[in-house]
Amino acid sequence: MANIKYKIHKGDEVIVLTGKDKGKSGEITKMMTSEGRAFVQGVNMVKRHTRQTQESEGGIITKEASIHVSNLALKDPKTGKATKVGFKIEKDGTKNRISRLSGEVI
């Protein structure tokens, strides 16, 4: 599958729209554009049973799992609600992402 450009990026504050973590928000720590998935800090936590190795101790480790990009929405910087992303081209030619809800530059 080809790498698709998404309107949300690493470091953006997002809100989960569906699933067991609906309504939770967090920052995107990693984007996997080829799979269309993202890792969000503190969201979609899973338990992983690991065997002991020389480097790490065994046991049950809680870590973040990826979540599909379609289940995420950008958090509006002004109101804190879920918003769509728009684009605005300035007079000097720079392209900025804006919040469709409040018009703020992201």
Q: Are residues 49 and 60 in the same domain?
A: yes
Q: What is the pLDDT of residue 104?
A: 85
CA dihedral 41, 106, 72, 39 (to 10 degrees): -30
Q: Are residues 17 and 43 in the same domain?
A: yes
Residue range of the domain that includes 24: 1-75
Token duo for residue 2: 């080809």
| Number of domains within the chain | 2
Q: What is the pTM of this model?
A: 0.82
Q: Are strands 25-32 and 72-75 parallel, antiparallel or unpaired?
A: unpaired
Mean pLDDT, to the nearest integer, of 75-96?
Answer: 91
pLDDT bracket for residue 3 (50, 70, 90): confident
| Residues above pLDDT 70, as percent of the chain | 98
Token duo for residue 99: 């919040």
Return the CATH number at 63.
2.30.30.30
* φ/ψ (deg, to 5) at 69: -60, -30
Q: Are residues 83 and 61 in the same domain?
A: no
Euclidean distance between CA atoms 48 and 61, whole angstroms: 5
- Quote the mean pLDDT of the chain: 91
Q: What is the pLDDT of residue 1?
A: 55
Q: Are residues 23 and 42 in the same domain?
A: yes
3-state secondary structure 42-58: CCCEEEEEECCCCCCCC
SS3 82: strand
